[in-house]
Structure 1
Amino acid sequence: MTEPKSTASQRLTQIKDFVTMNKTATTIPWDPDCTKFPTRKELPKIQGAPEGAAWVWGDDDYIGRLNLLTPTRVAAAAKEIQSGEIIPLNLPLNVPTQPAFDRQTFTHEIKTLAENYVYDDIYHLNTQSGTQWDGFRHFAHLPSGSFYNGTKGSDIVGPSANNKCSIHHWAEHGIAGRGILLDYRSYAHKKGIAYDPFDYYPISFEELYQCGKDQGIDIRPAAQGGDIRIGDMLFIRSGWKEAYDSKTPEVRAEAALRHGEGMEGQRWAGVSQEERMIDWLHDCYFAAVAGDSPTFEAWPTHEEYHLHEYILALWGMPLGEMLDLEKLAVKCRERGRWVFFFSSAPANCPGGVSSHVNGTAIL
């Protein structure tokens, strides 16, 4: 009798793992300590999930790719600390003064408890107003209306609301590991590539590849011979903060309040949404990705999808926006090293959608 194809394939993988000393993720839920994971094109079809979903960490999983931040990987990442310099990656809470997409502005109130002796303060803010993590409740896979791991809008608001995909799950797990910076803005200046970070400009995979090469980094995943390790956290500097500092308050506000049908009036530079970019972001098995612009990907999308759908809803990969990467870029360039230890403390807010990053790089 002919052996079932899936069983034969699994046995072949076991033999390959024995020879190469790998541990391949084959059975769902995947073991985060595996050393080899399927490419995007090799993802298993998951019953009840949208096409391309990587809901592979268990039915009750709400931390997604943060599962890859295992004790072994975090301990290895700590070895990247050499000088011990601490570089916070957070914008002031009141920057930008007018957040993009007409979001609520930050206000700060001092509360006097005992004049001259005791004070409190009160923040009024939108967690999407500045340096932010987009949580898994923030953006759904639009064709299916599903957030990560089958979470629905009714799980977030309404009489059946619960804590599925709440940001507090991230806080309870913690975020720490090896960060990698791609300073595309400096590369563009060096190569004479002119663009306005406050306007639509897609950074292609090829450009990021050449940027990495210029920095001495092969941005392919280690499984393909590159320098990206499973569980790394990616940071891309597009130059948004540099541009913000160069513009008048009036121009900043006008850009943040641009409107069109839906959210399409907003225009920002960011990574392209080409298939090659999607494959790369998936296949590197980043634990998280982040940029310095309000959208991470070039906005508005010129495709039938948003990269947010893949990153958040389909893969469960934390997505950071508007991180302050200016000082980090300078320090990394001075030292000729683009890897560092990174930690973040998301808000422990049960039911929360997103959080400020509270992130720190240590060189």
Structure 2
Amino acid sequence: MTEQKTTASQRLTQIKDFLTMNKTATTIPWDPNSTKFPTRKELPKIEGAPEDAAWVWGADDNIGRLNLLTPSRVAAAAKEIRTGEIVPVNLPLNVPTQPAFGRETFKHEIKILAENVAYDDIYHLNTQSGTQWDGFRHFAHIPTGNFYNGTKGSDILGPSANNKCSIHHWAEHGIAGRAILLDYRAYAHSKGIVYDSFEHHAITYAELAACGKAQGIDIRPAAQGGDVHIGDILLIRSGWKETYDRKTPEERSAAGLRSGDGHDGQKWAGVAQEEEILDWLHDSYFAAVGGDAPAFEAWPTQKPWHVHEYILALWGMPLGEMLDLEKLAQKCRERGRWTFFFTSAPANCPGK
């Protein structure tokens, strides 16, 4: 009976697609060129996967939502290029001087090959110390110990270690597409909302929707009548870099080394741990998300779960942190445009 219902449902979807010119993703692996995808509440149950998992691109998939960056979507995104201005969003490798969560500091050594003739540079760094992409091996779904697409700790370290879901797969695919910037920091300032981005401050979906409206953007997915396209890249400015620049070296160092306080001691502004945020991030079908804060989500979490678990482990969505969005926000404000063409080159390092 269940099989009959499923067949009937699929047939109904096919008829609707024919009438609406849509192509709905139904059969796993999903076709990334589809024009309609299930909402979070409509996700199919995948055998062996945790609840809410969207491991839908095939058993051997290593790039998750980057599958949405199809040639046709990238070509369409290129139309966002109008002035040809380039705005880098990488922080210098030595910023912050003391990385968050007490991570190792950046070290630069100049090696002399031939005095006054040739030199090499040697970098020592924790890749989570500054501007970064959180790879799929960075954060698991804690209750089940699953990283994206069933990757386990034994795939990362040990005698059976392999390159499953290594970030080099992203590098081989590439990241390029249409991006949207939500300048929450400027919005909060305009509304008299005062907060220190070096302290816990949860940014709710309602606030982001209001921020988008102030910028002239309906942040709902296009399927719901909004301005977010399938495969867009979301960037949120919380004001971390602005705050960093205003603090003394001692204050910066103390913040990165905070510990204790019933958690890891770290406190940062970021998106709230709430169902509305999860539904929006999932249903918008962003190819990737990122922000200027050390954790993207408000830290520490106020729930028994982290947004990281959903974004990385359950949905396979690349997560960027500590992007320098100051100049980008300024340019967007000057141009009155908050969408643009975005590219990034993840580390091409097998096993990362």
Pairwise TM-score range, normalised by the shorter structure: over 0.9
Which shifted more, 305-314 or 253-262? 253-262
Secondary structure of the residue aligned to 2:178 is strand
Unaligned stretches of 5+ residues in structure 2: none
Provide the residue aligned with 1:130 in structure 2. Answer: 130
Provide the residue aligned with 1:83 in structure 2. Answer: 83
Provide the residue aligned with 2:341 in structure 1. Answer: 341
1:263 Cα deviation (Å)? 5.0
Q: Deviations over 1:200-247 (max 9, x none)?
A: 000000000000000000000000000000000000000000000000
Q: Deviations over 1:137-169 (max 9, x none)?
A: 000000000000000000000111000010100
Provide the residue aligned with 1:149 in structure 2. Answer: 149
Secondary structure of the residue aligned to 1:327 is helix
Structure 2 vs 1, CA of residues 7 and 345 (structure 1 numbering), >3 Å: closer, same or farther?
A: same
Letter in 1 for 2:101: F
**Aligned-partner Cα distance in 1 for 2:102–2:27:** 44
**Aligned-partner Cα distance in 2 for 1:2–1:280:** 30
**Aligned-partner Cα distance in 2 for 1:166–1:65:** 14
- Tell me the TM-score normalized by structure 2: 0.99
Provide the residue aligned with 2:42 in structure 1. Answer: 42
Provide the residue aligned with 2:252 in structure 1. Answer: 252
1:3 Cα deviation (Å)? 7.8
Structure 2 vs 1, CA of residues 82 and 267 (structure 1 numbering), >3 Å: closer, same or farther?
A: same
Structure 2 vs 1, CA of residues 108 and 262 (structure 1 numbering), >3 Å: closer, same or farther?
A: farther
Secondary structure of the residue aligned to 1:108 is strand
**8 Å Cα contact 1:178-1:342 kept in structure 2:** yes
Structure 2 vs 1, CA of residues 196 and 23 (structure 1 numbering), >3 Å: closer, same or farther?
A: same
Letter in 2 for 1:281: L
Letter in 1 for 2:314: L
**8 Å Cα contact 2:101-2:264 kept in structure 1:** no
Provide the residue aligned with 2:209 in structure 1. Answer: 209
Structure 2 vs 1, CA of residues 2 and 250 (structure 1 numbering), >3 Å: closer, same or farther?
A: closer
1:347 Cα deviation (Å)? 1.1
Provide the residue aligned with 2:289 in structure 1. Answer: 289
Letter in 2 for 1:253: S
- Note the aligned Cα RMSD (angstroms): 1.1
**8 Å Cα contact 2:230-2:287 kept in structure 1:** yes
**8 Å Cα contact 1:101-1:263 kept in structure 2:** no
Provide the residue aligned with 2:18 in structure 1. Answer: 18
1:292 Cα deviation (Å)? 0.2
Letter in 1 for 2:37: F
Provide the residue aligned with 1:193 in structure 2. Answer: 193
**Aligned-partner Cα distance in 2 for 1:272–1:337:** 26
**Aligned-partner Cα distance in 1 for 2:31–2:173:** 16
Secondary structure of the residue aligned to 2:260 is coil
**Aligned-partner Cα distance in 1 for 2:99–2:183:** 24
Establish whether residue 55 from structure 1 lines up as the match of residue 55 from structure 2: yes
**Aligned-partner Cα distance in 2 for 1:193–1:69:** 36
1:264 Cα deviation (Å)? 3.1
1:262 Cα deviation (Å)? 7.8
**Aligned-partner Cα distance in 1 for 2:240–2:262:** 23
Structure 2 vs 1, CA of residues 186 and 2 (structure 1 numbering), >3 Å: closer, same or farther?
A: closer
Q: Deviations over 1:329-358 (max 9, x none)?
A: 000000100000000001110001xxxxxx
Structure 2 vs 1, CA of residues 66 and 2 (structure 1 numbering), >3 Å: closer, same or farther?
A: closer
Residues 301-316 of structure 1 mapped to structure 2, 5 A cutoff: 301-316=301-316
How many correspondences in the alignment?
Answer: 352
**Aligned-partner Cα distance in 2 for 1:200–1:261:** 13
Provide the residue aligned with 1:5 in structure 2. Answer: 5
Establish whether residue 115 from structure 1 lines up as the match of residue 115 from structure 2: yes
**Aligned-partner Cα distance in 2 for 1:3–1:42:** 17
Letter in 1 for 2:215: Q
Letter in 2 for 1:88: P
Structure 2 vs 1, CA of residues 261 and 29 (structure 1 numbering), >3 Å: closer, same or farther?
A: farther
**8 Å Cα contact 1:73-1:231 kept in structure 2:** yes
Identity of matched residues, %:
80
1:277 Cα deviation (Å)? 0.5
1:260 Cα deviation (Å)? 1.8
Letter in 2 for 1:247: K
**Aligned-partner Cα distance in 2 for 1:43–1:36:** 13
Provide the residue aligned with 1:323 in structure 2. Answer: 323
Unaligned stretches of 5+ residues in structure 1: 353-363
Establish whether residue 94 from structure 1 lines up as the match of residue 94 from structure 2: yes
**8 Å Cα contact 2:74-2:178 kept in structure 1:** yes
Letter in 2 for 1:64: G
**Aligned-partner Cα distance in 2 for 1:139–1:331:** 33
**Aligned-partner Cα distance in 2 for 1:28–1:212:** 33
**8 Å Cα contact 1:97-1:106 kept in structure 2:** yes
**Aligned-partner Cα distance in 2 for 1:297–1:47:** 29
Letter in 1 for 2:68: L
1:261 Cα deviation (Å)? 6.7
1:7 Cα deviation (Å)? 0.6
